[in-house]
Structure 1
Amino acid sequence: MKKILIVTLVIMAFGITALAAGAVGLYVWASKDLPGFKRIADYNPPLVTTVYSRNGKVLGYFYKEKRFLVTLAEMPKYLPEAFLAAEDSGFYQHDGVDTMAIARAFLANMRAGGIRQGGSTITQQIIKQLLLSPERSYSRKIKEAILAYRLERYLTKEEILTIYLNQIYLGAGAYGVEAAARAYFGKHVNELSLAEAAVLAGLPQAPSNYNPYQHPESAINRQRYVLNRMLESGWINREQYERSLVEPLEFKSMPDPSWKLGAYYLEEVRRWLVERYGEQAVYEGGLHVRAALDMTHQEAAENAMRKGLEESARRRGWEGSLMRLRPEEHAMFLADEALPSEALEPGSWLKVLVTQVSPQGALVRFGDLTGEIPLAQMSWAREPDSQKSPEEVPPVTDATTVLRSGDVVWAEVLKKPAQPNEARWSLALRREPSVEGALVSIRPDSGEVLALVGGYSFQRSQFNRATQALRQPGSAFKPIVYSAALDNGYTPASVLLDAPVVYTDEVTSQIWKPDNFEGVFYGPTLLRTALVKSRNLVTIRIAQKIGIKTIIERAKAMGLVSNFPQDLSVALGSAVVTPLNLCQAYTAFARGGSYINPRLVLDVVSAWGESLYASQPEPVEAISPQTAYIVTSMLKDVVQSGTGWRAKALKRPVAGKTGTSNDERDAWFLGFTPYLVTGVFVGFDSNEPMGKYETGARAASPIWVDYRAAVEEQFPFQDFPRPAGVTMVSIDPQSGLLAGPNSTESLFLPFLEGSAPTEMATGSDSPATMGVTPAEGEDLFKQVY
């Protein structure tokens, strides 16, 4: 018996030794190719980059994985407890591996004949997600356990839990608890209730199966399981448990503002960030970017641009319906385009199906609702004719010449009926414009770009016309020419001849015959009047006198970037520039001599709060304060009695200049006050003519006025300060001499000290006009502008 016992003990010793050796060998084998776990300590997950407006509102996000970094301190205490109850209730007791959970999983898998249950701790889940492959095998589980054990000795429990709650995928494109709180409840994580936290904690096991949007019953059942586990673990009491079970849950996603208001601005910021920091940092770095954009300005700018382009399109007439449907296609269209009546407000646009047309108007359908478009709301829908202005084409008098039954068209809601389902909606016929535009608004004191619009719709075209379109500014370039003239011996009272001129290119032998827009000539003209009335021929004569090189040097000194043509056409704005660049040049007038570089991004902060970039105003000396003031004074007259007359609606000191290129291909208005410089451009991307009289005054300045009227009250009333070295003198507008007792009218004009005329007008030295009297010229001006 004694021998048997000894033999048994020897066998057991050998067995234990063999098991130990096997375990050591298994550990050595599993440890051979383990990845380094210490990089988890430098946790740097892909995070969302957030772009804010200057007011702190979110403009948009950039990301590959929608994850926002939050700390345990920023979460309600019951949120991490809910996840622990659901995933790893022994988290604070084990050393990274829960042997009892593994044993339970092993027995379950043996009974199932395959791997069905994992038994992983939260630490092991982190290892699996960040270091190992997702394969389900026992060899991977062994490696996972070894790394989890090591990690627990390198990081604290709180650090491991923080990583887990920010890393875990919770469905609906949300990574981490903050993104999930936004995706499922439209809240930030610190605003979640216990009941809501339990829903999120139920997701890690199977995010798609427990997604409350797709499987609400499964999500609620899983929530109850989590709450029950929290109660059993002593993390909540019975009252909290019962209250959370009956708490109503509202599932809604936090609206994503990206690529909505300010989409062109956001894209410009994105391009700047990628160029500076690279795509990985932008889409994974969790940067916090503050832009100069002001939401109120941006919304006003976009509304003004849309309205202005739509009105411009209507002036060109009707180009036909969006499509024409056969009767059997009507029902499908109405079902697809159905909109709830409460979502439609006056001003809303919608696609409608024309069902009946009479000379007096048309009946239309949208969804299960009926509307009426009376003749008066389609009178603009004339046959397009680019050679005639809208005033020269009779309005539509018969609706049947515009619409037919089966047409699908755009309509605007004018008025909602008292009972939406029982009455006809009052609608107006509309068309989307094909003409495009841009608007830029800059604070001249700081260079901050408060608003930037690059087109009618970012969804339709991502090409940013504010920063990428190179267009001819036309007469909007003239203030730069006149600033150079003032520095080369001219004054606002200098008299120049407004008469035909013929220019022959010595290289090509081509003959150029520039003309005034109205097609008439006014004879001797004051330099001030030539700028106010935008007289091309006077500008050409100035260019001939001071030289093309002088004009180009002045343009470059004011910050303009272009391939300037080396001929007289440059004086009339033939060099192409971007709207942003032209606005930059105009800040020199508003600032009193120095232009300022535009600033779209104010500062950038890393995900960890480190300052990466902070912009500062960058002024550049360009012209003298006296020259800037004199040009500005003349540009104020452009608003008071010239082509910029619409800006008088602000009832504030405003200076500005319109611009129109040949055949109305480009229309501009650059208007400014001491506190804000705003430029508007309108034109086809194809550079085709926009139609007769689609000038800067008609196509661009109304957009400027609509935008500025919406934001002007943000700024105090302010006029341009007169610098030292400038005197104001009363001038006879007919002769350019000092106004005398026989002068019928006078102009109060600024001069550099010592440059004002000294001779007084006698009343008999008024120069004769050529081809048109002043009164006739003024009537013609009013017709055109």
Structure 2
Amino acid sequence: MPRLLRWSVVLAVWGLVAGFVALVFFAWDLPRPEDALSATRRPSVTLVAADGALLATSGDLYGETVRLRDLPAHVPAAFVAIEDRRFREHMGLDLVGVARALVVNLTAGRVVQGGSTLTQQLAKNLFLTPERSIRRKVQEALLALWLEWRFSKDELLTIYLNRVYLGAGTFGVDAAARQFFGVPARRLTPGQAAVLAGLPKAPSRFNPRVNPSAAIGRATEVLDAMVETGALTAAQAMVEAERLHFPPSPSRDAGWFADWVREGLGDRAPPTADLLLRTTLDTRLQAAAEARIDALLAGPGRAAGVSQGAVLAIDAATGAVRAMAGGRDYRTSPFNRATQARRQPGSAFKPFVYLAALEAGVRPEDMVADGPLTLGGWSPGNGNWRMRGEISVEDALAFSVNTAAVRVMQRAGGPRAVTAAAQRVGLPGPLPRDASIALGTAEVTLIDLVVAYAPFANGGHRVAAHGVMEARAEGRPIAWLPPARSPVIAPETAEAMRRMMAATVARGTGRAAAVPGLAVAGKTGTTQDNRDAWFIGIAGGMVMGVWLGNDDASPMDGVAGGGLPARLFRDILEAARRPG
């Protein structure tokens, strides 16, 4: 007997030593929990449209910190019901739950149920990597025990609900509620809470934006679990399941605008604070631009060999961007043809020629010859224009007569004077130094061209394109002044230019852009071999530009600025004005 006792003591001692060594082995590289709880993260940037509709998010998106007493009881109940029904009874490790999961998995022949508690999930999410290993599971258990010792159950549940990852870059129920339903967490319905509670299992697979049917199926499982735990009655669960729906997703192609805004933040954004930006985007106009450009490229554009296009609209008075479509589909091509593609504008450049001429004393009613012209061996053509001998300066612009435009440029003082006028209203260089500048041989972006037209519409003031009207950091407003505008054209000159471009739409090459009941002015542009087709128009206090072409600069089949681009301009305006 003494011998047995002696060996029992020896084994116990060695068992304690082995346990201590194992504990040291598993715990030696554990993170400091206090440090992890205060760990830094990537500040989020949330963009909303002018009407408050969500456009895009980036970074780690957290909402407001929520407390249990501020939430409807069904929100925490949903997570407890589906993730850890014995949360209030265990001390971080649920041996009963592990045993039950083991039986279920053995019966099913595959892993269908986990045994991790909410506290273990919290430990994993806060402190550990997603690695699957025995070492990590032991560390998870140790940290779960520490959390249970350090915090009360209500505190643990509060931390969990504020820090759990719920997909689409969102952490916590408030951020996810706003992302998927457009409401704060305190206004979640039981059905909506069930959707969120179903996400931790597979945030990507059950994302309501990506797979709404899977999200609803998973939410139904959560509602059934809530019935089993007594959080809901069967009748309530059925009603909630039937009323489940998701708000429309943000604009599918506003990604170009969101990218442009984020790229322009620079040093203006606080480096460590979550940022909420209310942008200038008009969701109605944006939706109209997206829908109409897609319809045009799928129909008449396809038949005419047009594969791409871009649309940009700004408020003429301020430069605020109201709509931006940088192509046909952002998901397949995020390259922004509205802001990054440099193409020849063709005759869409001519208003700057006529601006320089007006400033040199030329009047719209003055006459100019439209016959053949040769300068240093260069002879510009007039396309299908039938020579009249002389036409008014206004008609020269309205009908886009090339030889007349070159002669008007000479009256203005030559290429140098035209370059100065174009750059003054906002069109950056480099610009050609020879007579070909009159026919739009420079390379420009759509956004620069649209901005440079703004003084013709706003009484002569230069503006800068911008996309943010209001900013908040961590809920507090921060100064975010829009770019200042400056006078660059005499008001009477700007008005004369607008009247001349109105003639282009009324009787010239831009007739297809006319909208009944709306004063429209603008200019068409077509480059050699129909490689680029433009229409830049002014209507209702807005300047909107349209470009159509192909990324490889291959010719289109007879597409000119007065055709499909002018029609697209008109279609977008009509769709945006349509009630409903």
Question: TM-score normalised to the size of structure 2?
Answer: 0.78
Task: Give the 3-state SS of the residue equivalent to 1:33 in structure 2.
Answer: coil
Which of residues 428, 437, 442 in structure 1 aligns to 2:314? 442
Partner in structure 2 of residue 254 of structure 1: 246
Indicate the residue corresponding to 1:699 in structure 2. Answer: 564
Matches within 5 A, 1:320-359: none
Q: How much has 1:193 moved relative to structure 2?
A: 5.1
Of residues 591, 594, 597 in structure 1, which corresponds to 2:464?
597
Q: Whose Rg is larger?
A: 1
Q: 1:634 aligns with which of 487, 500, 505?
A: 500
Asked if residue 51 in structure 1 is aligned to residue 43 in structure 2, the reply is no
SS of 1:602's equivalent?
strand
Look up the SS of the partner of 1:555 in the other structure. Answer: helix
1:83 aligns with 2:75: no
Picking from 549, 553, 570, the partner of 2:437 is 570
Q: Which residue of structure 1 lines up, in the alignment, with residue 289 of structure 2?
A: 301
SS at match of 1:659: strand
> Which residue does the alignment assign to 1:709?
574
Question: What is the identity, as a one-letter code, of the residue corresponding to 1:295?
Answer: T
Structure 1, residues 243-274: CA drift from partner, whole Å, max 9, x if none?
446657349673662562xx1x3223225425
1:163 to 152, 155, 159: 159
Out of 435, 453, 464, the position equivalent to 1:586 is 453
Conserved 8 A contact 2:194-2:219: no
State the 1:77 CA deviation: 1.3
| Offset at residue 671 of structure 1 (A) | 1.8
Please give the per-residue CA displacement for 1:437-481, whole angstroms capped at 9, x wherever unaligned. 222211112212212223344456444332233222222212111
In the TM superposition, 1:164-563 aligns within 5 A as: 164-168=160-164, 177=173, 194=190, 197=193, 224=224, 227-228=227-228, 230-231=229-230, 236=231, 240-244=232-236, 249-250=241-242, 254=246, 257-258=249-250, 260=252, 263=253, 265-273=254-262, 276=265, 288-309=276-297, 312-313=300-301, 316=304, 434-458=306-330, 461-504=333-376, 511-545=377-411, 546-563=413-430
- The higher-RCO structure (CA 8 Å, 6+ apart) is 2
Higher helix share: 2
Give 5+ residue unaligned stretches, structure 1. Answer: 317-432, 505-510, 715-785
Change in Cα spacing, 1:532 to 1:182, as seen in structure 2 (3 Å) is: closer
- Counterpart among 66, 71, 80 of residue 71 in structure 1: 66
The offset of 1:434, in angstroms, is: 3.2
Q: Could you say what secondary structure the match of 1:518 adopts?
A: coil
Q: Given the alignment, which residue of 541, 555, 559 partners 1:675?
A: 541
Question: Is the contact between residue 185 and residue 250 of structure 1 (CA under 8 Å) also seen in structure 2?
Answer: no
Contact residue 558 and residue 595 of structure 1 kept, 8 A = yes
User: Aligned pair in 2 of structure 1 residues 196, 470: CA closer, same or farther (>3 Å)?
Assistant: closer
Name which of 516, 519, 538 aligns with 1:650: 516
**Contact 2:206/2:215 (8 A) holds in 1:** yes
Q: Which deviates the most, 491-500 or 169-178?
A: 169-178
Shift of 1:138: 7.8
SS of structure 1 residue aligned to 2:465: coil
- Deviation digits for residues 201-235 of structure 1 (CA, Å, limit 9, x no counterpart): 5786899999996799998777655544x44xxxx
Structure 1 distance, partners of 2:286, 2:279, is 12
Q: Is the 8 A contact 2:320 2:467 kept in 1?
A: yes
The Cα shift of 1:589 comes to 0.9
How far does residue 569 in structure 1 lie from its aligned partner after superposition?
0.5
1:41 to 30, 34, 37: 37
For residue 39 of structure 1, report the CA deviation from its aligned partner: 3.4
Q: Is the 8 A contact 1:477 1:571 kept in 2?
A: yes
> What's the CA shift for 1:303?
3.7
Aligned-partner residue type, residue 451 of structure 2: Q
Contact map agreement 2:195 2:218 (CA 8 A) in 1: no
Structure 2: distance between partners of 1:176 and 1:203: 11
SS at match of 2:241: coil
1:186–1:253: 8 Å Cα contact kept in structure 2?
no
What is the TM-score when the length of structure 1 is the normalising length?
0.59
For residues 348-404 of structure 1, the C-alpha deviation after alignment (integer angstroms, 9 at most, x for no partner) is: xxxxxxxxxxxxxxxxxxxxxxxxxxxxxxxxxxxxxxxxxxxxxxxxxxxxxxxxx
Q: CA deviation at 1:652?
A: 3.4
Cα distance in 1 for residues equivalent to 2:4 and 2:501: 111
Deviation string for 1:666-716 (max 9, x for gaps)?
A: 322222146111222223334344344x332223222222222334589xx
CA contact (8 A) 1:61 1:258 kept: no
| Stretches of structure 2 lacking an aligned partner (at least 5 in a row) | none
Report if aligned partners of 1:183, 1:253 keep a CA contact under 8 Å in 2: no
**TM-aligned CA distance change 1:610 to 1:145, over 3 Å:** farther
Tell me, yes or no, if the aligned pair for 1:182 and 1:253 is still in contact at 8 Å.
no
Q: In the superposition, relative to structure 1, how do residues 684 and 37 fare at CA in structure 2: closer, same or farther (>3 Å)?
A: same
Cα 1:313–1:12 shift into 2, 3 Å = closer
Distance 1:266 1:467 in 2: 13
What's the % identity of the aligned pairs?
A: 34
Amino acid at match of 1:269: A
Contact 2:216–2:244, Cα closer than 8 Å, also in 1? no
Asked whether the 8 Å contact 1:184–1:251 carries over to 2, the reply is no
1:398 matched residue in structure 2: none
Amino acid at match of 1:696: G
**Residue of structure 1 aligned with 2:490, choices 590, 600, 624:** 624
